[in-house]
Amino acid sequence: MFWKELSPEEERVIVRGGTEPPFSGEYTDHFEEGTYICRRCGAPLYRSEDKFHSGCGWPSFDDEIPGAIKRRPDPDGRRTEISCASCGAHLGHVFTGEGFTPKNVRHCVNSISLRFLPAAERIVLGGGCFWCTEAVFRRVPGVISVTPGYAGGFVPHPTYSQVCEGSTGHAEVVLVEFDPRQVSLREILEVFFACHDPTSLNRQGNDVGTQYRSIILCSSDLQREEVEAIVREVSRRFDRPLMTEVELLKDFYPAEDCHFRYFERYPDQPYCRLVIAEKLRSLSGLLG
């Protein structure tokens, strides 16, 4: 995590919980496709598809990137304050019941608390337990967000217990959003093939089952062509055939909240300490 040096006005809002004047922020009427990140630490907070025009004078969103926002009662005793879950930067307030959108939620955010990144590229990757793959890709420079979830199967809106039973067809995966100006698709896949054994069928270490299979789910036909070319090249480095499936993404279902940032929240849990921490150490040359 980086911490940007703040101007006096940024510090007034972000650190001391102030509010910028209405209709004065650069993102109030901004609707370009991309991702809004924390101005202080760079953590991804909101996606452009969740932004709407409320007429309130500040940027409005009806959803957040899972795990990105913390809520707490405002000192005024009437409102709910929202802040960056990564660094605690003050963002604004969240309101419900106003009826602006079907989600019936409005995150009222100060523009000065945000920075905007143009549209990111997305790819879904499965290489064993998503606690591990999430921890790995959160450390890749140029990656904007990593969302653990389920994909590749046939059961809509599966639960973790259903996927673990192996009856849904889904794999444990991560949705990786990255800025192609900072990290290429090839570099993303280099990390992917380094962080698991792609020659192992339906197994990674002690995790056994189709939910742990090696799989790449592409967001477009063009991306799939590029992925398939890279996979053919990578396969020459291995003594055994790759078991990695390459398909077009149909549906992605985010995992339950308890699985987000699992390694960060439970570093002393045995799997985190013995498996994930060791994996991160072995990949230190590829990660930031």
- The answer on pLDDT for 124 being more than 90 is yes
Q: Is 179 part of a structural domain of the chain?
A: yes
Tell me which of 68, 91, 118 is where a domain ends: 118
Q: Is 150 part of a structural domain of the chain?
A: yes
Alpha-carbon distance 50 to 90, whole Å? Answer: 19
Tell me which of 91, 118, 145 is where a domain ends: 118
Q: Is 21 part of a structural domain of the chain?
A: yes
User: Regarding predicted confidence, which is higher, 48 or 41?
Assistant: 48
DSSP state letters, 182-204: TS-HHHHHHHHHHSS-TTSTTEE
pLDDT in tens, 142-199: 998 899 999 999 999 999 999 999 999 999 999 999 988 889 999 999 999 999 999 9
Q: Are residues 154 and 62 in the same domain?
A: no
Which residue range forms the structural domain that includes residue 36?
8-118
What token pair was written down for 88? Answer: 């605690």
CB 62 within 8 A of CB 107: yes
Q: At what angle do helices 185-194 and 130-137 cross, to 10 degrees?
A: 140
Tell me which of 97, 118, 139 is where a domain ends: 118
Q: Is 79 part of a structural domain of the chain?
A: yes
Q: Which residues pair with 37 in a beta bridge?
A: 44, 115
pTM of structure? 0.69
- The answer on pLDDT for 222 being more than 90 is no
Q: Is 2 part of a structural domain of the chain?
A: no
Q: Are residues 148 and 43 in the same domain?
A: no
Number of domains in the chain: 2
Burial grade of 190 (CB within 10 A; 0-12, 13-18, 19 or more): middle
Q: Are residues 60 and 180 in the same domain?
A: no
Burial grade of 115 (CB within 10 A; 0-12, 13-18, 19 or more): middle
Alpha-carbon distance 18 to 92, whole Å? Answer: 9
Choosing from 38, 56, 87, 129, which is the catalytic residue? 129
Choosing from 38, 84, 108, 218, which is the catalytic residue? 108
Alpha-carbon distance 21 to 18, whole Å? Answer: 10
Q: Are residues 134 and 145 in the same domain?
A: yes
Q: Are residues 65 and 169 in the same domain?
A: no
Q: Is 288 part of a structural domain of the chain?
A: no
Alpha-carbon distance 42 to 44, whole Å? Answer: 6
Q: Are residues 84 and 56 in the same domain?
A: yes
Mark whether 129 is an active-site residue. yes
Q: Are residues 140 and 182 in the same domain?
A: yes
Dihedral over alpha carbons 114, 107, 179, 253 (to 10 degrees): 160
pLDDT of residue 287: 85
CATH number at residue 245: 3.30.1060.10
Mark whether 41 is an active-site residue. no
- The answer on pLDDT for 288 being more than 80 is no
Q: Is 287 part of a structural domain of the chain?
A: no
Alpha-carbon distance 23 to 172, whole Å? Answer: 43
Q: Is 1 part of a structural domain of the chain?
A: no
Q: Are residues 43 and 146 in the same domain?
A: no
Alpha-carbon distance 178 to 140, whole Å? Answer: 9
Alpha-carbon distance 14 to 43, whole Å? Answer: 14
Strand ranges in the chain using DSSP code E only, listed in sequence order: 34-38, 44-47, 51-52, 60-61, 69-73, 80-84, 90-96, 105-109, 114-118, 121-127, 143-151, 171-178, 203-204, 207-208, 214-218, 245-248, 252-254
pLDDT in tens, 64-94: 999 999 999 998 889 999 999 999 999 999 9
pLDDT of residue 2: 52
Q: Are residues 101 and 26 in the same domain?
A: yes
